[in-house]
Structure formats: structure tokens, C-alpha cells
Amino acid sequence: MELTSEENASLNGERGETLQTAYRILVATGEATNAEKLIPITWAHLSGVNYNTIGDAGEQFLRELSKDAHVKVKATVNPMGIDFDHISEFNHIDDEFIKKQASIRDSYIRMGVEPTFSCTPYDIFDLPEKNTQVSFAESNAAIFANSLGGLKTNKESAFSALASAITGKSPYSDLRKHNISTPMTIRMKMDNPDELDFGMLGFFAGKVGDTSVNISGVSQPNRRSCKALCGGMGTSGTCAKFQFVDSEDEKSEKVDFGKEEMNEVFDELNTAEKGDIITLGSPQLGLEELSDLSKMLKGKSFEKRCMIFCSRAVQEQARTLHYINEIERAGGEILSDCCTCLTPLIDTNETDAVTTNSIKGAYYLKNSTGVDVNLKPLSKIIEDETK
């Protein structure tokens, strides 16, 4: 990879240790993605915020880094493990977790990030103009940005996005260029798919696809389904972009996603017939989804605990529009700054299985939280779990 003399000076440590570390990461990721140079980016979205995922080593690393580092471009951050406004209601969370999570939060704020604590930055901010180069680490957000937002990003890692935030640069790799050679086409064979089907389609596509896939046989999914597709895809593989296509490119390799493929994904992630609690989110719910939910809950109440995750910014808007009133009246518990994935708010001493409509959530509930999962689309959750 070609570096400018200024970039080389930073890499050699002439501009301090922080920039040297950042450039070391950019060079390694540049080599990994066959980039020939670094280019400027305008927005970095960082992952690695939840103490549950980054642990003591991560907490300490960020504490040290934040003594000196400051972001150079707009930077937003992923969810934490907990919602500090509601933490007193969760007795099983120990003080150590709260202390370490607060330290991570404070380190990011010291570095100058916007304290969004959300995996859905596209639901909080207007997206910049098409083809703008950004660096998004959260996989669902990177896929959303590339596929639906018209932006350009690698499926960044926590460290590559952090390095981009500090330097304002990112490797100019294939995904950032305009033409990607003919990607595989996934043929959607399921009629009237709901958001759970889209999540499974994404999970399947992520497994079989390479960097980018075409998807045919799909018409105008709603935002909930689009987000489910991005979430599922980001969980299972390295795929960072999809395009909905009307006609199939003859040269493209084709793979069907039908009943059999769907059942295979379902059987991998669905391990229980019912859940002790319900979680909605992963990705966190947007304003439109909270509006839908409040309408679906009219005159109904949840029969068991239902945790609903959305960003703080979206929660504030939804409160003004009275969506939250209706959801809370129905017994829904609104939580912000955290999400289903890897939150310790789910008490595994009291919870054996969780009902959710999120494929991404299901993967991490099963593999990281260590509970069983009962998968259902939202319409079925409302039908079965409210009265």
C-alpha cells in the first residue's frame, strides 16, 4: 500500500504512539483488503462499547487511549451492555459491571464521540449524500449503509473503525470502489415473507455469499424487514452489501432460498417452543417500528416481561409522539443505550429461553448469553403473548 510522507511519518511513530497504533491498524487492514492507498472518510461508527464483549482488556485499552486520542471526524458508538437510567431495576447486575461499563462510556466521551450508544445510527441521523465514504463497524449498520443508504464502507472491525475515527482515513478497498464483479444471486423463493423470514434470508446469504450479493424475488420490504435482513446477514459471514435485483444476471451464480434452506436456519437458531421473556430489538427499533408496535398493542397487554430496545434519541422522539405511552401501558419495558445482543440485563438464573423476532439476537442469545431461543415474527408474538 502506498502511503503519503505524512502517513508514513505517523506510522513510524513521529506523530506519537496513538497515531502510530492507528496507522498500524490501517496498514494491516489495507493489506487484508488489497487497498492501494488510504482515503478520507467523514463518519466513523464504532463497535466495542459493551463491557460484556470487550472485557477488562478492552476497558483498560480505551482508558489508556482516551488520555491522548481524540476523534477527527464525526464518530458515533454502538450500544453498551446496560441502560444506566434503569440499572437500579436489575439487581443481578454487579457493581463491577456498572463501574467498568461507566469507564468505557466515559473513555469514548473523552475521545469526543457522539454518545449515541446505538447499533442503528441510520435511524438517528440523516445520511450524507450518496457515495460518501464512511467507516461503520457495526455489521448491520455497515450493510444498511452500503445497501440501502447509498454510502460506501467496509464491514469495518472495531479497531479499523476506531483507527478511522482518529485519523479520518480508511483503506480504499474493493467495497469502496464503484464496480464489484458479478456477485452471487440469492433467489428468494418464499412468498409473503415477514421480518423473521428476511432475517433468515440474511443469515443464509451471509453464509453463502462473498463480499456482496444480489437478491432477487423480493419486492419493497418494509423497514423492519430491511433491518432484519441487514442484522441477519451481518451475523453469519463477511458479506457487507446486497442489492435487490429485478432480473437475474446470466453470468451470476445462483442459489435458491426456499423452504428447505429456511428450515435449516430456523432449526439452527430456534431451540425452544416458548420463551420466559420477550425481547424486541437487534437492531434497535426505529421510530416507524415503535409506531407500528404501539398500534399493534392497542387494547392489549403483554402476559410476560417484554424488553424493547431502541436508541435514546429514538426513545425521546417516540415519547413526544406518545408511542411509548401506549407501549408502556401494555407492559412493554423500553430500554435504551443497549440491545438484545450480549446484554447482561437478561438474568440467566431466571431465564431459560427468550422469545424474539431477531435472527441476530437469536444467534447471540444462544451462543453468548447461553439461553434457548424461541423465534417468532412480531405479529405472532403479539398474538400469542398478549391478551
Partner 1 sequence: MIKEIVSGTFGGRVLKTTSPINFLGAVDKKTGVIRDKKYDIYGKSIKDTVLIFPHGIGSSVGAYTIYSLKSHQSSPIAMICNKADLTVASGCALANIPMIVLDDDTIDDIENGMRITYSPGGNPPLFWN
Q: Are strands 353-356 and 372-375 parallel, antiparallel or unpaired?
A: parallel
Task: Candidates 69-77, 143-151, 235-243, 292-300: pick the segment binding partner 1 (CB under 8 A).
Answer: 235-243
* Angstrom distances, CA of residue 296 to CA of 129, 148, 361, 387: 34, 26, 22, 12
Give the residue, chosen from 10, 19, 41, 58, that forms a contact with partner 1 under the rule CB under 8 A. 58
Nearest alpha carbon to residue 375 among 255, 245, 280, 286: 280
Return d(Cα 315, Cα 241) in angstroms, integer.
28
Q: How many residues bind partner 1 (CB under 8 A)?
A: 42
User: Should residue 238 be labelled a site residue for partner 1 when binding is judged by CB under 8 A?
Assistant: yes
Q: Please identify, among the stretches 2-10, 152-160, 275-283, 379-387, the one whose residues bind partner 1 according to the rule CB under 8 A.
A: 152-160
From candidates 10, 18, 33, 336, binder to partner 1 by CB under 8 A: 33
CB of 307 closer than 8 Å to CB of 278? yes
The residue (of 34 and 379) whose beta carbon lies closer to partner 1 is 34
Separation of alpha carbons 373 and 270, rounded Å: 5
Binder among 212, 236, 336, 343 for partner 1 (CB under 8 A):
236
Does 29 help bind partner 1 (rule: CB under 8 A)? yes
**Opening angle at CA 256, ends 255 and 261, nearest 5:** 115
Q: Smallest gap, in angstroms, from Cβ of residue 18 to partner 1? A: 12
Least distance (Å) from partner 1 to the CB of residue 238?
6
Report the residue number, 55 or 150, with the smaller CB distance to partner 1.
55
The stretches of the chain forming alpha helices (DSSP H) are 5-11, 17-32, 51-65, 95-110, 121-124, 139-147, 158-167, 195-208, 223-236, 259-269, 287-296, 312-320, 323-329, 359-364, 378-385
Asked if 237 is part of the footprint of partner 1 (rule: CB under 8 A), the reply reads yes
To partner 1, the closest distance from the beta carbon of 243 in angstroms equals 21
- Alpha helical stretches, state H, 111-157: 121-124, 139-147
Query: Cβ closer to partner 1: 49 or 306?
Result: 49
Least Cβ distance, residue 333 to partner 1 (angstroms): 25
| 265 contributes a contact to partner 1 by CB under 8 A | no
**How far apart, in whole angstroms, are the C-alpha atoms of residue 90 and residue 36?**
50
* Window contacting partner 1 (CB under 8 A); options: 2-10, 56-64, 83-91, 222-230: 56-64
In whole angstroms, the minimum distance from the beta carbon of 163 to partner 1 comes to: 7
Q: Among residues 1, 87, 158, 184, which is the contact residue for partner 1, using CB under 8 A? A: 158
Residues 275 and 268: their CA atoms lie apart, in Å, by: 17
Q: How many CB atoms lie within 10 A of CB 227?
A: 34
- Report strand pairing: 169-171 vs 306-310: unpaired
- Between 157 and 317, name the residue whose CB sits nearer to partner 1: 157
Assign 157 to helix, strand or coil: coil
What mask, x for binding partner 1 by CB under 8 A, covers residues 348 to 387?
Answer: ---------------xx--xx-------------------
Q: Which of residues 8-27 bind partner 1 (CB under 8 A)?
A: 21, 24-25, 27
Q: Please, which residues bridge with residue 202 across strands?
A: none
* Residue 120 lies near partner 1 (rule: CB under 8 A): no
* Lookup: cell for 193: 415473507
Beta bridge partners of 277: 354
Closest approach, Cβ 158 to partner 1, in A, equals 5
Q: How far apart are CA 315 and CA 318, in angstroms?
A: 5
Q: Could you write out the DSSP letters of every residue in 320-362?
A: HTTHHHHHHHTTEEEE-S--STT-TTS-TTT-SEEEES-HHHH
Instruction: Give min distance, CB of 162 to partner 1, in A.
Output: 9
Interface with partner 1 includes 48 (CB under 8 A)?
yes
Select from 125-133, 157-165, 215-223, 308-316 the region that touches partner 1 (CB under 8 A): 157-165
211: DSSP letter: S
Q: Which of residues 60-99 bind partner 1 (CB under 8 A)?
A: 60-61
Question: Which residues of this protein are in contact with partner 1, per CB under 8 A?
Answer: 21, 24-25, 27-29, 31-33, 47-48, 50, 53-58, 60-61, 137-139, 154-161, 163, 206, 234-238, 363-364, 367-368
